Each structure stands twice: as structure tokens, then as C-alpha cells.
Structure 1
Amino acid sequence: MTRTLPRMARAHALKQGPDLTPMLDVVFIMLIFFVVTASFVRATGLTPDLSRPLTGPVSPMEPIGFRIDAGNRLFHNGQLIAPFSVGAIVKAESTARPKAPVLIVADPAAHTDMVVRLYDEARKAGIKPGHIAVNIK
């Protein structure tokens, strides 16, 4: 006499697929092994030295920049200049770059008369009002 499974048990046995749990265990163990044994290398490259101004050809639209600090000192390209030299600097640079705007960056503690003086000198040098920008920061 052969023993047969009841009808429901046979149907359930046919629907059930292979047990994948051991295979998943092996995959996770391999993944952990590769992560632990991998050596991570930091790629080294060139680090730019931004502490000094870059030299090279100046863009035609590079602004002619002036900075006024909290002590009302005037700087152009990082160098301390006298206020009476602004007109000559603007004329010389606007001749070389006719479309270059003038940018005046002033400290909030700087006197307003210094900003107005720079603006007036740029206007006297031939810069149009729409090409002069004042930034307070």
C-alpha cells in the first residue's frame, strides 16, 4: 500500500519553489567580506593655491574693481592707492578694456563720501552710470 499525500498537501508541495535563504546568506557574507577587505584609496590631485591673485590675460568684461575698507582706505587689485589716482586708473583700464564696468565694494562702516567720490571719479573718466556698480558688504 502506497501512501499518498492528501490533495491539498500535494498542491502546496508543487507550488513551493526552492528555498533561497542559504543562497542569500552566502551572498551577504561575500558582500561583507568584500567591503571589509577592500582598500579605499583617496585620489590625490593638484590643489590650487588661491592665496595669491592669478595672473594672465584679463577678460574684457572683468570689472575695474575698487574696495573701501572700514578705515576708509582704498584698494585696487589688493594694493593700497590714493583716492586722487582713481581717475587715472579708470582711464587706463577702460582704454584697454572699453566694455569693462567699474565695481566699488565698500565696507558698511566706510564713509559714504568716499563711495560718492569714487563714483564721481569714474564718471569723470568717461564711464557711463549704468556701468558703475556699488556693493556694500
Structure 2
Amino acid sequence: MRMRRHHQQDEDTGIDLTPMLDVVFIMLIFFIVTSSFIKEAGVEVQRPQAETASPQDKGNILIAITADGEVWMDKKVVDVRSVRAHVERMRVDQPDGAVVVQADQDARTGLVVQVMDQARLAGVQDVALAATAGAR
């Protein structure tokens, strides 16, 4: 009597995850490329309150002015005369971004005006002054 051998075919019952991983990596790259990163000024200031304050929703270049008269951009203290150069450099990344000046409520008005003037000289027409929304 002849013995019959059954050749069992090894069926691949696993799921191929390669296409799913490809899609996940493509989505990750898409979100990284399309996201806009907010550059912080680097210092926390006590902003004045305003009844008419409204949030800005597009990417902004932030400039902070402390009560001691320090000007902060991109987490560094800068001289007021170099604000224009810094804004021009940052506009390369955000060409349609606005400049938001975050002045402390005790900052000198003359310094705030100088910083806003330097931003306008850099070619930014949309220069805003940050405030905290007051109680209505």
C-alpha cells in the first residue's frame, strides 16, 4: 500500500500592511508641509485690555516689547534698529503674514512706534498691536 502524502499549501493568511504604511507616511508629509508654524517672540508680556480686540487667524511675525524696553523677536533680544532686517528675513518664510507687536502695558509708546515703523519699512503694511480681550 502506497502512502499518500498531503502537501499542505502554506496559505498566507496575513494582511499586507505596506500600502497602509505608504498612505500614512504620505499623509504625514502632507501635514508637515502644509502646516504653518507660529514663531513665538520669546518673552511673556502683560498686554493691555481692549474691548475691541479680535483674534488674528493667519501666520504672524511676533515682536514683543517688555516694560524694561527690550525688543524680542524669535526668542532673542534684538536692537530696535535691527527689527527691519529681522522682519525682512522672517517674511521670506511668511510672505503674506502680518506683524503683531506684543507690547507690555507699561512699555514706552515711543519704542512701540519705532518698532511698528521698522516693520512698515520692511514692507509689511499689516502691522497690528496685540491686546487682551476685555470683559464686555
SS in 2 for 1:116: helix
TM, length-normalised to structure 1: 0.53
Q: Which residue is 1:118 aligned to? A: 115
- For the pair 1:93 / 2:90, whether they are aligned, the reply is yes
TM, length-normalised to structure 2: 0.53
- For the pair 1:127 / 2:129, whether they are aligned, the reply is no
SS in 1 for 2:72: strand
Match of 2:36 among 35, 43, 59: 59
CA distance 1:136–1:69, shift in 2 (3 Å): farther
1:111 and 1:83 map into 2 onto residues whose CA distance is 13
Structure with larger Rg: 1
- The answer to which structure has the higher helix fraction is 1
Q: Unmatched 5+ residue regions in structure 2?
A: 1-31, 38-57
Give the total of aligned pairs: 80
Q: Do the aligned partners of 1:87 and 1:121 also contact (CA within 8 Å) in 2?
A: yes
Deviations 1:53-91 (A, max 9, x none): xxx877284211010111011111221111111000111
Residues 1-137 of structure 1: matches in 2 within 5 Å? Answer: 59=36, 61-128=58-125, 131-136=126-131
2:116 and 2:131 map into 1 onto residues whose CA distance is 14
SS in 1 for 2:92: helix
Give the aligned CA root-mean-square deviation in angstroms.
2.1
Q: Unmatched 5+ residue regions in structure 1?
A: 1-55
Identity of aligned residues (%): 28
1:74 and 1:126 map into 2 onto residues whose CA distance is 19
Q: Do the aligned partners of 1:75 and 1:81 also contact (CA within 8 Å) in 2?
A: yes
2:77 and 2:102 map into 1 onto residues whose CA distance is 14
Runs of 4+ off more than 6 Å = none
Q: Do the aligned partners of 1:107 and 1:136 also contact (CA within 8 Å) in 2?
A: no
